[in-house]
Structures are given as structure tokens and as C-alpha cells.
Structure 1
Amino acid sequence: MHGSSLNAKRGPGMVVASLAVAGLAMASPPSFAQSSETKELKDQLQTVRAQMKAQQDQMEKMQARLDELEAKEKAAKEQQVVQTQPAQPAQATPVTAANVQGTATTPAYRPPSAPAGVVEPLPEGYVRLGDTGNLIKLDLVAQLDAMLDSTYMGGADLFLPSTIPVSGQPFYDSGRRSNMSGKQSIFRMDFRRDTDYGMLKVVYKNNFFGSGSGDMPYNLQSFYGELDNPHYSLLAGYNISAFTDIDAFPNTLDFEGPNSFTFKYTPQIRFSPVLYTSGESKLTMPMSLEKPNADISVIEGFNTYSRRPDITLGLRWQAPSWHLQWANLFRDLRVENSEGRTRSTSGYASQLSSAVDVFEHDSAQGWVSYGKGYANFLQDISGFGLDAAFTTDGNLRAIRARGYGVGYTHAWMETLTTSASYGYLRISPQSDLLILPTMPKSTKFASVNLAWQFSERAMMGVEYLWGQNIDLTDARGQGQRIQTTFRYDLNP
């Protein structure tokens, strides 16, 4: 009763207050638990955020790699499409020395009087044959030589001192005569392409000094292939003999040049390893096997042959402004008749030659050779049968010979030059050899010219030539020539 009345007196306010106190008492322990859980959630959230950042970085790297791979695949597909498209007509894209592998970018000075098409052309003027990888250079040289001779010349278009009549021979001191010739005109094609083994070159060249009839008989000068790289060069085909140092040839307007120069075209295989290099200079060892072409004075019933090719072996030091070459020649000379009788002898020769640049545009050349059985290599007496001859007792003997010469070119200005040259040649046959006494024992040659390059592809010049011939009986004859030359070079 008393309890009930007490509670009734408290009323609703007291009940609420009591419940609040009880609630606070019950809520105190859960508040501490909730604070611990919040910290744990915050730590987990921080961990998740770090993992997400790492994954984002990894995704960005993967995306960058993917973009790179897709770009490469796109470029490869575009290249494949280009290669599989139908071939387009080849376009003649000019090529200069700067974008042909392994060639100098500064072309060497070439005087106006330099013979056209004699040395290998620089890469200027090549064009690309579409996408084949081949480069080609075509060169057409149209040349006219007008000549006035003081006497009869057996060579006519060529100035050959050995053909000058000596005292007592027909046409001796026969008087002036004139001639005109276009035989120095040239057609040349040079092909090049880069290979895994180096630069492959194929060269074709002809002039019109052939033996056929007419004013312009065809004459093949070169048709060969050559593989060239920093370690060696390998040449095979028809070209100038490795015994010839064409870089020492003087700048004459006359095609034949000095009498004592060794000059011969022949089928051959030539290997030139590089032994040593120093900067832009190098030492090479040219060696070759060449068709022998024995030139022998035979008696009736005998024909010439050789058991082995001509062999050449030399050393060449090539520097940017000069070179020195030592070349050696070894020959097997034989004759036979239908009855099986044979006679044989050996031939050899050694030659030292050089060319050097002097001042800015001047140059000098020189050569000296000695040996026996190599007359067919000497300009003035090639084809005279003076490699070897029979003796009076029927044996075969090689004929000794020697020769030397010099040349010099002076530039009055870049387009106006003067070139002079001199040559001496002599043979020394045994007294018992069966050869004609009218054969030349010694000859001399001299020339001087003035050449003007009046445009980039046109030259005119005038040259004075003098020669002397002394035969085996010591009879003498002299001849002179004035030659005027006009030359147009399509792609010098």
C-alpha cells in the first residue's frame, strides 16, 4: 500500500529520469567497444587505399606498354601493306655520295684533261631503281678529236711513236696529214647495291677502237662484277689488269697516252685483302689470275699458248692524297706445232708507280717497270710479238724490256689546266733472236696540253705530242701531232 502510493506520487517525470539513469549505466561499456572498432575500420580503409594506388600505378604502366605494342604492330602492318601492294613504276631518285654507304662525301678534284671513263666514278649521279635496292649510273661521253700530224702515223687515231717511220722506211718524212676521230666516245653503265657482304658493283663500258670496219667499230673495255667491303674486294670479269695502275695514268687528251705505260684489258679474277688500316689510309695486297695472251714472234707452223694464267701480286698503300703501288707479274710463255713440238720460257716484270696531289688542284704521276716477256703490257709495243722470240738454234727466249714515265697537271684555275707527260721505253733482245730488224728498239713520248671545262659537262682542249722511234738498226724517225678535243660528258 505504502509502496504503491509512493510510486504513484513520483509520477511520469520520475519514471523517465530513472530510465535515463539506467540507460546511461548500461550504455557506458558499449561506447568503449565502438571506439576500438572505428580505429580498426580506419586502418583497414588506409590499407585498401594503398592497395588501390599500387594497382592504379600498375594499370598505368600496363596501359603505356600496351600503347607501345599497338603502335609497333600498326607500323608493321603498314609496312606489310606497302610490300604486298602491286609494284609501282621505278622512279629515278637521285643519289649523292652522302647517302651511298662506304663512299666519301667530298668528291676529289678532277681536272678537265682527265680521260673520260677511265677511273671508277664517284657515287654522284646515281639513281635508285624503285624499291629493288639497286642503284644505277649511266654515262654517255661524246668526243671528237681532230688531229694534224707532221708525218705518216701507223696508228692513225692513236699517237704511237713505235709506228713512226724511220730513215729508210716507206713514208719516212712523208709530210703533213689530218684526221678526225670519234672513237674515244664512251657508253658506260654502273650498277650498285648494298649486300650482307658489302657493296656489289657491276660495271660495263665500251668505246669505239675496235678492229672492225667503219669509223666507229665497237670495242668492249670493261664488263665485271666486284664485291667491296672494309676487309677485302673481289673482282671477276673483263677489266684492266691488276698489273696496271690506272690512277697513275697522266691526263692526256690522246687516248693511248705515254708509250711506256703498262695498260692491258683482260679477263681475270682479282682478290685484294686489306692488310692494315690507319685512319683513312690502308694497305692492300692485290693479286689476280689473268688470261695470258702471250704475244710471241713465232716461226711458221707454231702457235702460242700458256699452261697457266698470268699471275700478279702486289702491295698498295692508299692515302687520301697519294698512293704508292708495287706490282709484280709472272708469265708462262709457250709455243707448239701440230707435230707436238713445244718450246717454252718464263716472263716476269716488276713495276713501281705512284700519284700524289700537289697544292690544291695540282697532281703528279710516275711509274717505272722492268722485266722480260711483258711487252704485251707496254702501250707502245703491244701486239708486236715482242714477249718472246726464237733463237737461231730453235729455243724460245723472253725479251727484256724497261720503261719509265712521269706526268704533271697544273691548274691555272679550277676549270683551266695544263698537263704534261714524258715516257721512255726500251727493249734489249739477244743478238741471236729471230725478229725483224725494223722492230723498235727504243721510243720516246712527250705531251703538253691546255684543257678548259667551259661548262659542267663540256670540255675543249688542245694538245701537242712528240714522239721518236729508233729501230734495232739504230735508224731514227720523229713525229709530231696537234690534237684538238671536244668532249660532252652526260654524267661525269
Structure 2
Amino acid sequence: MDTNAQSPVIPAVVIGLTQLFFSQLSSAEVYVESDKLMPVIEAQQKQLKEQEAQIRRQQQDLDVLRRQIEQLQRALPASSGRISEQPVDAPVPAQDLDNLQQQIDEIRKGVPPHSLPPPRAVADPAVSELSDIEDVISNAATEWPGSIPLLGTTIKAKISGYANLDINYDTDAIISPAQFIPADIVAFDKTAAEGDEGQTEFTVQTSRLIFETKQPWEGREFTTLISMDFVQDASVTTPNPRMRKAYGQVSNFLWGGSVLAGQDWSTFADVVAIPNTLDFQGPNSVIGLRHPMVRWHKKYGPQYQFKVALEAPDSQIFEDEIVDGETIDVVEVGKWPDAVFVLVSETEKYHFQTGLLLRDLRASGDPDSAVSTTGWGLNLSGTFDMPGALSKDLLTYSFSFGEGYSGLLNDAPPDAAYNVADNSLEALKTSAWYVGYQHWWTPCLYSVATYGRVRQDNLDFQPGIAYKETQYRSINLVWAPFPRWLTGIEVLYGSREDKNGDRGSLIRTQWTTRMTF
């Protein structure tokens, strides 16, 4: 019997055999791939088990640390002898917290990558509360509020400062529109560019940025500080960065005292006694210089402190000589540093400081020679809390006098004058004083009234335009609704008188707003 070539039986058989062949081939491939994957899967399972064991060990370590903190919290009240009166949330010592934080950081470094769930957003309701140990560390009181630990070290760092805006209106000519310096008041040949017809200035130059660090080491503390503002040039209101301070300090280093090296306020200055004016510069008679130095200071009991320093002689100011219409430039030649000795006495009610400054004033008016003289200064300054109903009010004062020290004052008149006739340098006698009074009207509203005066004895060979006397007056009203913001208005009056009798004066109205961080 002949078979029909178009019979559907043959294609069906062929298709069936083809499917069977390829299905067998596919299964073989799967078996080969599974053999390759099995070792990988077993290795991953082994790694997961190791990670789980490591996480359990780390959890046990955290539990141990948590119990140590609880023991510290229980031990602190017991050491006072009055357990029932000690608050439950007594602050943990900063050193103990630093040590615990270091241990936690070391443990966390050992956690294998990607073994923990990814972090969630703070607003995510699934985020769990802080662990007990994190809660204790984040909320514990410290001796340095606002600081943060640098992970992996015992160093703490702090960033602070403020953003400040001053709006000034001057009624007359002054060459320092960003600061109120009576010595810069124009006493003759006034021009409109200098503000003879009045001028308004906006400036943020006095905004400030401060970076500090502290690190304990074997009973000592290392401190560093860098501070900047933007008052590089007082003749303009454009902000230009300026270094204010840059120093390092170590405590309990030499004879039980602290040693500072770097740029800071002159040791001769008394920053505590400076009146709280809105004016950035402050009274003309404030000793307000900052320069490089090496300083040693030590406290003697709770009341006294002694300071001694060698400071850079970079603040010496010499008056140029004018001969037959030509100006002879007098160049500073610094040979010996300034020496400063200060004694401080203070209690809760008063602060008093007395300081002695010795200087080697050296200059060259003749390129082939240098001449010198000795400068000195004595300063008495302090603060005093008012008694009775005025107990919140504060009186500040300063009185200084001497020869050849005036370059350290805010007004910065010359320290010495050069006499070309006999190639000599003569120190100028100067007296400077101020008094300020701060009164609180309400817990967030206060006023400060200030008066300052600087007078210099002129020599016969000085030119007629030589500095003779300036005066400074100010009164303000400041509102501080909360600690990190203040705003207020201040009215200032300044005057300058030269040797020849030329006088200049102006009134400045200043509005200030300052936000601190």
C-alpha cells in the first residue's frame, strides 16, 4: 500500500522528535549552569552567616557600652553623697563620652559594607528612635556648648560668628566710612568725596567667622582659633577678608601656666572692659590692637591672673618730617619685641586690670642710619557691677598714659616724631581714657552711653597738621528679642583737633542688625 506524501502523520512525527531533542538539550544546559552556580550560592550563604555572627557580636558590644553608661549615670549621684537630691539626667563627663564615642566608631568601622539597611529620611515614620547610647551622647551636657566631636579623634570643633549689617549716615567728612574713627575726621580741605555734604553707607564688613578646636592630652588642653572679618580697608565699605586672630594655646604647660603663640589681642588690651557699642570700632581711647605674640599666663587662686608676653613691634607709628615742602619718609626698623606685663583681679562683682608696656622705638629717616628711643605705657581698666536696684547695670572704664605707646589705641596717633635737624626720634606723651555705662530697661532692651578722649602733647618741630586731640561720644538703644539676634540704633559724635587749631566734627547715625550662629 502506497503512502501519500502529503499525509500529516510524517510532519507530526518530525515535530515531536525535534521538540524532544531540544528539550533534552535545554535541560542539559540548565544542569551545567546549576553546577556552576551552586558554589557561588554556598559561598554567599557562608558570608551571610559570618555577617550575622559579626552583627550579633557588635550588638553585644553596644549592650556592654550601654550598661557602662547606665553605671556612670548611677555613679555620678552617688559621688555627691545626696542621691535623692541629684537629678536623674545628670550630665556625663565629657571625657567619658569621648571615650565611648571612640569605641562606638571603632565598632562601626568593622561592620561589613551593605550589611545594614539603608538610612531613612528623618521624616520617615518607619525611622526608629535613637538608641539609648546615641541619645545619651547627643543630649548630654558638655563643657563646651555648640561643639562637635571629630570622629576618630579626641578633638572637638566649633564654628561660630555672625552676619552683620550696618547702615551709617554721616553729617560731615570722614575718610573711614566703614568705621567711626575720630582721628579720620577731616579737619581741613574737606571734599564732597570725603562726605563734606553728608553721606550714607551700607556695609557688611564687620561680619565675622570663627573656627575653634580643643583637644585634651594628659591633663592638658590644646586650643586653636582662627577668626576673620572683612574690614581690611576702613576707607571703603567693600568687604575684603582680614585675619583677626590665628593662634594655638596649650594649658598647664610651663610652671602650671598656659602658653599662647600666634595673633591675638595685645596683652596690654583689656577686652572685657570695652563698652558694648554698636559701633564696630568702639571708643577712640580703647587699646584695640591685634598682632603676633608669645604669651604666658597663669591663674593664682580664683581671683588673680598674671600675664607676660613678647609681642611683635609692628604697630610703631612714626610721623614723617616735612622740610621745605618735601616729605621725609620715616621707616620703622623693628629690632626688639614689645614686652608686656599684666595683673588681673576679678570676682563676680568686678574686673580690674593693670598693665605695663615697654617698647624699643626704632626708625630710619636717613637711609644710612637708624635712631631709637624708649616707649612705655601704663593702663588701668575694668568693669564694675552697679549695686542695689541697678545690679544688672555695668560700668566700664579705662585710663592709660605714657610715651610712645599710642599706636596701640583705636585712634592710632603717632608713637614718636622724627627730628631731621639732629636725626633724632622723640616719643610723644599721650593720655587716653573712656567710661561707659550699660543700663537694662527690660530683659531684652538696653542702652550704652560712652565717652572717650585722647590727647597728645605736641613738639615744637612737628607740623601744624599733627594730631593733638580727639573726642568720642555715643549712645544707643538695642533690642535683643532672643540671644542670636539683636538690632538697634546708635548716635555718635566725634571731633578732631590738630596742633595748628584746625578742627573737624561730625555726627553719625547708625542702624545695626546682627544674627549670630
Same fold (TM over 0.5): yes
Q: 1:451 aligns with which of 478, 502, 516?
A: 478
Residues 15-26 of structure 1 aligned to structure 2 (within 5 Å):
none
Q: Does 1:292 align with 2:313?
A: yes
Quick one: which amino acid aligns to residue 307 of structure 2?
Answer: P
Aligned position for 2:156: 135
Aligned position for 1:322: 350
CA-atom RMSD, angstroms?
Answer: 3.0
Quick one: which amino acid aligns to residue 313 of structure 2?
Answer: P
Q: 2:498 aligns with which of 449, 454, 471?
A: 471
Aligned position for 2:372: 344
Q: Does 1:379 align with 2:410?
A: yes
Aligned position for 1:228: 251
Residues 250-261 of structure 1 aligned to structure 2 (within 5 Å):
250-261=275-286
Quick one: which amino acid aligns to residue 396 of structure 2?
Answer: Q
Q: 2:268 aligns with which of 239, 243, 253?
A: 243
Which whole-Å deviations, capped at 9, do the CAs of 1:45-87 have from their partners, x for residues lacking one? Answer: xxxxxxxxxxxxxxxxxxxxxxxxxx99x99xx9997575464
Aligned position for 2:488: 461
Q: Which has the higher contact order (CA 8 A, sep 6+)?
A: 1
Quick one: which amino acid aligns to residue 336 of structure 2?
Answer: R
Quick one: which amino acid aligns to residue 333 of structure 1?
Answer: L
User: Percent same amino acid among aligned pairs?
Assistant: 25
For the Cα contact (< 8 Å) 1:297–1:390, is it kept in 2? no
Instruction: Work out the CA distance in 2 between the residues paired with 1:81 and 1:416.
Output: 47
With over 3 angstroms needed to count, the CA separation of the structure-2 counterparts of 1:95 and 1:421, relative to structure 1, is farther
For the Cα contact (< 8 Å) 2:366–2:423, is it kept in 1? no
Aligned position for 2:397: 366
With over 3 angstroms needed to count, the CA separation of the structure-2 counterparts of 1:401 and 1:83, relative to structure 1, is same
Quick one: which amino acid aligns to residue 399 of structure 1?
Answer: L
SS of residue in 2 equivalent to 1:376: helix
TM (norm. structure 1) is 0.72
Measured after TM superposition, the shift of residue 301 of structure 1 is: 6.1
Residues 195-210 of structure 1 aligned to structure 2 (within 5 Å):
195-210=217-232
Residues 84-483 of structure 1 aligned to structure 2 (within 5 Å):
84-85=106-107, 87=109, 99-100=142-143, 123-166=144-187, 169-170=190-191, 174-211=196-233, 215-229=238-252, 231-274=256-299, 276-277=300-301, 281-293=302-314, 294-298=316-320, 300=328, 302-336=330-364, 339-358=367-386, 359-380=390-411, 382=412, 385-390=414-419, 392-433=421-462, 436-483=463-510
For the Cα contact (< 8 Å) 1:424–1:445, is it kept in 2? yes
Instruction: Work out the CA distance in 1 between the residues paired with 2:293 and 2:103.
Output: 44
Which whole-Å deviations, capped at 9, do the CAs of 1:110-159 have from their partners, x for residues lacking one? Answer: xxxxxxxxxxxxx3222222352222221131110001111111111111
Measured after TM superposition, the shift of residue 174 of structure 1 is: 2.4
SS of residue in 1 equivalent to 2:303: strand
Instruction: Work out the CA distance in 1 between the residues paired with 2:456 and 2:156.
Output: 46
Q: Identify the range of structure 1 (178-187 vs 436-445) with the bigger mean alpha-carbon deviation.
A: 436-445
Q: Identify the range of structure 1 (443-452 vs 156-165) with the bigger mean alpha-carbon deviation.
A: 156-165
Measured after TM superposition, the shift of residue 233 of structure 1 is: 2.1
Measured after TM superposition, the shift of residue 439 of structure 1 is: 2.7
Aligned position for 1:119: none
Quick one: which amino acid aligns to residue 468 of structure 2?
Answer: K
Q: Identify the range of structure 1 (138-147 vs 159-168) with the bigger mean alpha-carbon deviation.
A: 159-168
SS of residue in 2 equivalent to 1:251: coil
Instruction: Work out the CA distance in 2 between the residues paired with 1:460 and 1:79.
Output: 40
For the Cα contact (< 8 Å) 1:95–1:128, is it kept in 2? no
Measured after TM superposition, the shift of residue 197 of structure 1 is: 4.0
For the Cα contact (< 8 Å) 2:173–2:190, is it kept in 1? no
Instruction: Work out the CA distance in 1 between the residues paired with 2:175 and 2:496.
Output: 12
Measured after TM superposition, the shift of residue 173 of structure 1 is: 8.7
Instruction: Work out the CA distance in 2 between the residues paired with 1:461 and 1:406.
Output: 21
Instruction: Work out the CA distance in 2 between the residues paired with 1:143 and 1:236.
Output: 29
Instruction: Work out the CA distance in 1 between the residues paired with 2:417 and 2:265.
Output: 22
> Who wins on radius of gyration, i.e. which is larger?
1
For the Cα contact (< 8 Å) 2:466–2:499, is it kept in 1? yes
For the Cα contact (< 8 Å) 1:376–1:387, is it kept in 2? no
With over 3 angstroms needed to count, the CA separation of the structure-2 counterparts of 1:273 and 1:388, relative to structure 1, is farther
For the Cα contact (< 8 Å) 1:152–1:164, is it kept in 2? yes
With over 3 angstroms needed to count, the CA separation of the structure-2 counterparts of 1:253 and 1:79, relative to structure 1, is closer
Following TM superposition, where does structure 1 have runs of at least 4 consecutive aligned residues deviating by more than 6 angstroms?
A: 78-81
Quick one: which amino acid aligns to residue 271 of structure 2?
Answer: I
Quick one: which amino acid aligns to residue 310 of structure 1?
Answer: D
With over 3 angstroms needed to count, the CA separation of the structure-2 counterparts of 1:423 and 1:301, relative to structure 1, is closer
Aligned position for 2:115: none
SS of residue in 1 equivalent to 2:215: strand
Which whole-Å deviations, capped at 9, do the CAs of 1:391-434 have from their partners, x for residues lacking one? Answer: 5322111111110001111111221111111101001122124x
SS of residue in 2 equivalent to 1:286: strand
For the Cα contact (< 8 Å) 2:211–2:227, is it kept in 1? yes
Quick one: which amino acid aligns to residue 134 of structure 1?
Answer: I
Measured after TM superposition, the shift of residue 465 of structure 1 is: 0.3
With over 3 angstroms needed to count, the CA separation of the structure-2 counterparts of 1:373 and 1:86, relative to structure 1, is same
With over 3 angstroms needed to count, the CA separation of the structure-2 counterparts of 1:267 and 1:128, relative to structure 1, is same
Quick one: which amino acid aligns to residue 142 of structure 1?
Answer: A
For the Cα contact (< 8 Å) 1:469–1:478, is it kept in 2? yes
Note the residue ranges of structure 2 that are not aligned, 5 or more in a row.
1-63, 69-99, 112-133, 322-327
Residues 21-36 of structure 1 aligned to structure 2 (within 5 Å):
none
